[in-house]
Amino acid sequence: MDAIVINVDNIIEQLLKKPTWEAMQITESEVRGLCLKSQELFLQQPILLELEAPLVICGDIHGQYSDLLNIFELCGFPPIANYLFLGDYVDRGKQSLETICLLLAYKIKYPGNFFMLRGNHECAGINRFYGFYDECKRYYNVKLWKSFIDCFNCLPLAAIVEEKIFCVHGGLSPDLHSMDQIRRLVRPLDIPDNGLSCDLLWSDPDRDVQGWGENSRGVSYTFGVDIVTEFLNNHHLDLICRAHEVVRDGYEFFGGRQLVTLFSAPQYCGEFDNAGAIMTVDTNLLCSFQILKPSRMKFKYLCNEMNSLLLPPPPRNATLLSTNAFNDDYLNDIEDVPISGVQAIIPATKNEQV
């Protein structure tokens, strides 16, 4: 294969400075180049990443491009900060193309500082129906959507930070007994309807379950606190960090702070009152949670019709927004929360507005 040549700096500049996708004038060949080059990089790096702190960990983005930019404004644009994203970059939000193209461009620009895991929406059978396919078709064509799918099929599935924090999009699997099982998975990988790779992208913790339970999504399993404790003990880990579910405060602990769910798309779909959050891990494994709250009522737009078999459940403790429900400034609360075995940390403080 010939070397892939793209001007990634120019693409990043357009993505950061132009107001709309139409104004960016990024060609189909440039977008395809992003897919091909990042695909090469994903395959050069392990399917189970082993990462060092400091690191900023982000949950679902779902095409909420302005919120992605707010995260970079808050924590530093690459390479000022190192990043790990937990998947679900596309679908639902109005700017999936901007979101995924900027992330892939940063992956190409800073391959050793910028990392992306695969979410369940980085699969053809999901994003074909929940917005991303239509966005690709509207601005380009189906062939380009297929280029993204080829790229998504090469994304890593999990990461371990400093041998202590296991990061994944969905959760655990009854088939996972050794980390080598993940390492042996071969990419490109179409995610099957069941099994290890499916569970890593789809499973959920459940306080009402002991052991493994049936998942209301119709895919994979739920797992109880006992499963989390056993997994951490068996693998000498302190924390599981995952995404995949909307939680009202942007992050939510499970099982006595053995697992944390991150969701980084505030006011999800323009319909819910949830905050977003990110987790920063410093070199001493101090874990800080920065809470991202909407600055104003976003324009309410219709999400694609929900299907309970495919979509995450509604946000825990979240309510539908009325037209005057949010008038707060965009606040960034910093909460340093104790996590047993990782680091005991200090009470919450409030950061400056951005």
The type of residue at 283 is T
Is 121 considered catalytic here? yes
| Strands 221-223 and 204-205, bridge-based pairing | parallel
DSSP state of 289: E
178 Cβ partners below 8 Å, 6+ apart? none
Residue 223 pairs with which residues in a beta bridge? 205, 212
- Which tokens in the block code for residue 261? 């769910």
Helices (H) then strands (E): counts for the chain: 11, 16
Taking the C-alpha atoms of residue 27 and residue 33, their distance in angstroms, rounded to an integer, is: 10
- Which tokens in the block code for residue 52? 């060092």
Contact assessment for residue 322 and residue 271, using Cβ atoms and an 8 Å cutoff: no
Closest CA to 172 of 231, 115, 126: 231
Greatest extent of the chain over all pairs of C-alpha atoms, in Å = 55
The type of residue at 279 is M
Contact assessment for residue 297 and residue 325, using Cβ atoms and an 8 Å cutoff: yes
Taking the C-alpha atoms of residue 160 and residue 276, their distance in angstroms, rounded to an integer, is: 23
- The catalytically annotated residue of 121, 169, 177, 235 is 121
Contact assessment for residue 68 and residue 290, using Cβ atoms and an 8 Å cutoff: no
Return the active site residues: 121
